[in-house]
Amino acid sequence: MKTPVITLTLICFALPLWSQASEELATASNCLACHKADAPLVGPSYQDIAAKYKDQDRAGEVLFESIKNGSSGTWGAIPMPANAAVSDEDIKTLVDWILAM
Ligand code: HEC
């Protein structure tokens, strides 16, 4: 009987920690120089990106490619340069974090 309660408690504590870790990763990876979660900056807000891609099957792959190799023409006139210094592992974490917004 106690297991579900413990599991729920763990999830409630782990989710904010995960979200905070990802925000630190976004800061460390320089993403937040051009992006904000809830408002456009140089690039689109992460919430707008999540809303645009949430129903697409290949959203994770598309965003992974965009972050890794750069992107232009999808959101406006300003292109996003390739984020060559960010590891594939970190890009995957950032994509999951953005799509969960
Ligand atoms: C120099 C500014 C800049 C930096 C740094 C930057 N971005 Fe972007 N980002 C943009 C712009 C501008 C766009 C819109 C590009 C377009 O219209 O195709 C964009 C688009 C995106 C998209 C949507 C791509 C698509 O295919 O729709 C994602 C996801 C994204 N950025 C995530 C990130 C992440 C994660 C980082 C950090 C590793 C990052 N960005 C760093 C400026 C930036």
35 Cβ below 6 A of ligand 1: yes
Q: Are 54 and 99 in contact (CB under 8 A)?
A: yes
Distance 23 CA to ligand 1 centre (A): 15
pLDDT for 30: 96
Rounded mean pLDDT, 19-39: 94
76 Cβ below 6 A of ligand 1: yes
Say how many domains are in the chain.
1
Q: Which residues contact 26 (CB under 8 A, 6 or more apart)?
A: 32, 35, 94, 97
CA distance 66 to 45: 15
97 Cβ below 6 A of ligand 1: no
Q: Are 91 and 83 in contact (CB under 8 A)?
A: yes
Give the global pTM. 0.90
pLDDT for 20: 83
- For residue 14, what is the domain's CATH number? 1.10.760.10
Q: Which residues contact 61 (CB under 8 A, 6 or more apart)?
A: none
DSSP SS3 for 46? helix
Q: pLDDT for 46-64, tens place per residue?
A: 999 999 999 999 999 999 9
Q: Which residues contact 76 (CB under 8 A, 6 or more apart)?
A: 44
Range of the domain at 66: 2-99
Confidence grade of residue 41 (pLDDT, cut at 50, 70, 90): very high
93 Cβ below 6 A of ligand 1: no
pLDDT for 15: 76
Which of 5, 21, 98 is CA-nearest to residue 52? Answer: 98
Rounded mean pLDDT, 15-27: 86
